[in-house]
C-alpha cells in the first residue's frame, strides 16, 4: 500500500472514530435528560440563560444533534449562538445561529471554513407511551426534518466564535 492511501485510510478511520464518539456522547446525553425528567419549561429557562450570556458575553455553546440520512441518524457537533427565545401560543421557539464543526461527510470542520446557519429550534415535551406514559423534552429544528434531538451543553462555552456567527 502506498503512503498516500495509507494516510488517507488513517484519516478516514479517525473520522469514523470521532463519529462513534459523538454517537456515544449524544446517546448518553439523551439518557441523562430522560432520567432527570427535565421538562420543556426548564429547558426553556436554560435556553433563555444562553441567550442572555450570548448577548452580554458573545457565548456560544457546544451542541450535539442528530442528522437523518435516510434510515440512519448520525450525531453531528456544532456551536450554537442563541439569539432569542420566543414563547407564543403554547409553543417555544429558539432563534439561533449554528456553526457545524463535525459531520461524517465532512469530518472535522474548522470554524470559518463553512458559513454558519440561522436556525429555529422548537422545545417540546414528547410523550413516550413505551415507557409507561412518561414524557421527555426534545429540541428539534423546525426547518426541514433532518436535524433533531439537539443537546446543548451548558458547561462547554466559547466566546471567540462571534465573528463566524454573522
Q: What is the mean pLDDT of residues 34-60?
A: 94
Q: What is the mean pLDDT of residues 8-15?
A: 94
> CA-CA distance, 95 to 77, in Å (whole number)?
18
Per-residue pLDDT tens for 108-144? 999 999 999 999 999 998 877 666 667 889 999 999 7
112 — alpha (psi -120 to 50), left (phi > 0) or beta? Answer: left
Nearest to 22 by CA among 68, 76, 71: 76
What would you measure as the largest C-alpha separation in the chain, in angstroms? 62
User: What DSSP character marks residue 83?
Assistant: E
E strand segments, the chain: 60-69, 72-88, 91-103, 107-108, 117-128, 134-141, 147-158
Cell, residue 54: 450570548
pLDDT value of position 27? 97
pLDDT at 166: 73
Q: Where does residue 60 rank: exposed (0-12), middle (13-18), buried (19+ CB within 10 A)?
A: buried
Q: Band of the pLDDT at 2, cuts 50, 70, 90?
A: confident
Amino acid at each position: 500500500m502506498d503512503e498516500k492511501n495509507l494516510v488517507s485510510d488513517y484519516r478516514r478511520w479517525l473520522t469514523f472514530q470521532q463519529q462513534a464518539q459523538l454517537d456515544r456522547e449524544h446517546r448518553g446525553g439523551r439518557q441523562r435528560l430522560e432520567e432527570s425528567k427535565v421538562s420543556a419549561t426548564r429547558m426553556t429557562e436554560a435556553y433563555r440563560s444562553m441567550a442572555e450570556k450570548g448577548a452580554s458575553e458573545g457565548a456560544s455553546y457546544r451542541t450535539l444533534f442528530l442528522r437523518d440520512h435516510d434510515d440512519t441518524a448520525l450525531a453531528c457537533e456544532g456551536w450554537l449562538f442563541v439569539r432569542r427565545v420566543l414563547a407564543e401560543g403554547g409553543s417555544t421557539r429558539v432563534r439561533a445561529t449554528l456553526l457545524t464543526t463535525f459531520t461524517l461527510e465532512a469530518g472535522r470542520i474548522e470554524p470559518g471554513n463553512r458559513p454558519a446557519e440561522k436556525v429555529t429550534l422548537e422545545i417540546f415535551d414528547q410523550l413516550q407511551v413505551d415507557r409507561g406514559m412518561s414524557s421527555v423534552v426534545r429540541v428539534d429544528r423546525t426547518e426541514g426534518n433532518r436535524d433533531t434531538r439537539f443537546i446543548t451543553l451548558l458547561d462547554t462555552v466559547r466566546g471567540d466564535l462571534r465573528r463566524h456567527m454573522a
